[in-house]
């Protein structure tokens, strides 16, 4: 099949492209810039902007399937920027699929779309969308996910996958950020340090996307549905972080800050950065304080039932592959 991956130059996109190529598909990337690593793999890049409906429609010509992986991520920034990429960009993708007669659209979402103030312990897909987002990323991803699911019909089959905290050997986000914060002495346990969270090894995230793609059709159980994706079990977040630090010969984090204080500091930092229009990312935000102190893990039974997702690489194996023994 001819398959286009938006944002194939990213962490998940690159590994997903490798998986699709290994199955004999022809893969294209749609992004604003070219990526040498994709060209070396045999993935051609079509340069364009998700916000430009014309360039998206043109890029999708001749494609059979689209994986919409690209999005604006981050804990800070202007709402307009998140909206234009994540929501307006998704609208462009859906329109381009319809114009070009594409039959399958697989969307990479996030569990953050249902994250509110409290703990989420083994929640399933019946969990409602959050009513009070603490970040533009989660809010706009929730809006985009709903657009994707509502677009499902007998001509265009859609599905949304929600992998949580993807990590792996060449992870450019999670592990490097933790290591950098620890080296600068900015990392402290928020709350009790006993909160459980889902994580997802990169190959397991790729497998979920491939399985969903293969099973997706107008008659399938997947059509118009969202699915949580993660490991075989949640991890104790701060034990997991400390294990990563130890394997990089860094001291374990033991100092704690009460979650209420961290939340207040996050609110203060956000207000300060807005008031004085400071560039860069605040050292703490409300969203980060909640992510670090709350439990947020999910049931993956629906993904197992509907398209056979089961992580092939365990948490322990994933840590060994990512940071060594």
- 3-state secondary structure at position 184: coil
Among candidate residues 83, 107, 137, 201, the one labeled active-site is 137
Tell me whether residue 107 is one of the annotated catalytic residues.
no
Report the C-alpha gap between 141 and 149 in whole angstroms: 12
Nearest 5°: CA angle at 95, between 94 and 96?
90
Specify whether the CB–CB gap between 285 and 76 falls below 8 A. Answer: yes
Structure tokens at 171: 């992870």
Residue pair 43/86 in contact by the 8 Å Cβ criterion: no
- Distance from the first to the final alpha carbon of the chain: 39
Long-range contacts of 313-316 (CB under 8 A, 24+ apart): 313/201, 313/203, 313/204, 314/231, 314/232, 315/199, 315/201, 315/231, 315/232, 315/233, 315/235
- On whether the CB atoms of residues 86 and 133 are closer than 8 A, the answer is no
Contacts of 65 (CB under 8 A, 6+ apart): 1, 2, 3, 4, 102, 103, 104, 105, 106, 213
Query: How long is the chain?
Result: 325
What is the set of active-site residues? Answer: 137
């Amino acid at each position: 099949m001819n398959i286009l991956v938006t944002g194939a130059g990213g962490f998940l996109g690159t590994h997903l492209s490798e998986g699709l190529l290994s199955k004999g598909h022809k893969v294209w990337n749609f992004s604003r810039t070219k990526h040498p690593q994709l060209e070396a793999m045999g993935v051609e890049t079509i340069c364009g902007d998700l916000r430009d409906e014309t360039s998206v429609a043109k890029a999708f010509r001749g494609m059979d399937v689209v994986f919409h992986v690209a999005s604006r991520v981050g804990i800070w920034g202007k709402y307009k920027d998140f909206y234009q990429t994540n929501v307006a960009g998704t609208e462009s993708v859906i329109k381009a699929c319809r114009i070009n007669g594409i039959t399958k659209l697989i969307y990479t979402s996030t569990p953050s779309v249902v994250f509110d103030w409290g703990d989420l312990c083994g929640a399933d897909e019946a969990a409602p969308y959050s009513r009070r987002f603490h970040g533009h990323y989660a809010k706009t991803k929730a809006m985009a996910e709903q657009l994707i699911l509502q677009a499902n019909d007998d001509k265009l089959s859609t599905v949304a996958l929600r992998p949580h905290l993807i990590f792996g050997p060449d992870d450019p986000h999670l592990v490097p950020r933790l290591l950098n914060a620890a080296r600068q002495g900015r990392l402290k346990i928020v709350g009790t340090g006993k909160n459980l969270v889902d994580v997802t090894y990169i190959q397991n995230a790729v497998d979920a996307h491939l399985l969903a793609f293969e099973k997706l059709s107008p008659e399938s159980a997947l059509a118009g549905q969202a699915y949580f994706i993660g490991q075989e079990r949640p991890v104790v977040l701060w034990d997991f972080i400390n294990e990563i630090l130890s394997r990089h010969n860094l001291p374990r984090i033991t100092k704690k800050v009460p979650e209420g204080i961290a939340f207040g500091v996050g609110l203060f930092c956000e207000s300060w950065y807005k008031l004085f229009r400071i560039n860069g990312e605040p050292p703490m935000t409300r969203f980060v304080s909640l992510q670090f102190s709350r439990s947020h893990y999910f049931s993956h039974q629906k993904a197992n039932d509907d398209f056979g997702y089961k992580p092939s690489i365990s948490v322990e194996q994933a840590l060994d592959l990512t940071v060594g023994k």
